[in-house]
């Protein structure tokens, strides 16, 4: 069992991960935990998970490293809850240009929605002005 398999299973929607060598008692306990809404993971895997978490280096988010000036401006306006039309108006751009910037912005940030953009903006320290 690799960590990669565990992560893949969890990302695919698994609520936990129990290894094949689990004893009947462990399986029974894990089934009960699952039914109770918990997420069972085999003890052999938890040490690896904890070790990985302790080694995580939390990156500082600096929008200037990833995003253009215009993309940052758009992200600021999205975080204020503005529509793309209002963003275009405030930025002095065509709506189609704002849509192009938003596609590039979303791709660079690995997101798919305005609500996710707001969360990313918060990570960058961008807060709504209004």
Q: Same structural domain for residues 73 and 21?
A: no
At 81, which CATH number? 1.10.10.10
Q: Where do we find the tokens 């995580």? A: 56
Tokens for 116, please give them: 């996710």
Q: Is residue 97 part of a domain?
A: yes
d(CA 53, CA 107): 26
Is residue 42 domain-shared with residue 69, that is, in the same domain?
no
How far from each other are the two terminal CA atoms of the chain, in whole angstroms?
Answer: 50
Range of the domain at 97: 63-123
Kindly report the backbone phi and psi dihedral angles of residue 47, in degrees, each rounded to the nearest multiple of 5, phi listed first: -60, -40
Structure token digits, residue 38: 């918990």
Question: Tens digit of pLDDT for each residue in 64-84?
Answer: 567 888 999 999 999 888 999
Establish if 12 belongs to a structural domain: yes
Are 102 and 95 a contacting pair, CB within 8 Å? no
pLDDT digits (tens, 9 = 90+) for 121-130: 888 787 666 5
């Amino acid at each position: 069992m690799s960590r990669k398999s565990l992560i893949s299973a969890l990302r695919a929607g698994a609520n936990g991960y129990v290894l094949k060598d689990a004893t009947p008692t462990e399986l029974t306990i894990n089934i009960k935990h699952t039914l109770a809404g918990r997420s069972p993971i085999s003890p052999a895997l938890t040490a690896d998970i904890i070790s990985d978490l302790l080694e995580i280096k939390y990156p500082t988010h600096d929008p200037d490293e990833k995003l253009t000036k215009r993309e940052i401006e758009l992200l600021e306006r999205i975080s204020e809850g503005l529509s793309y039309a209002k963003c275009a108006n405030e930025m002095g751009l065509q709506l189609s240009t704002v849509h192009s910037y938003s596609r590039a912005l979303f791709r660079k940030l690995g997101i798919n929605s305005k609500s996710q953009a707001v969360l990313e903006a918060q990570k960058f320290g961008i807060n709504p002005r209004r």
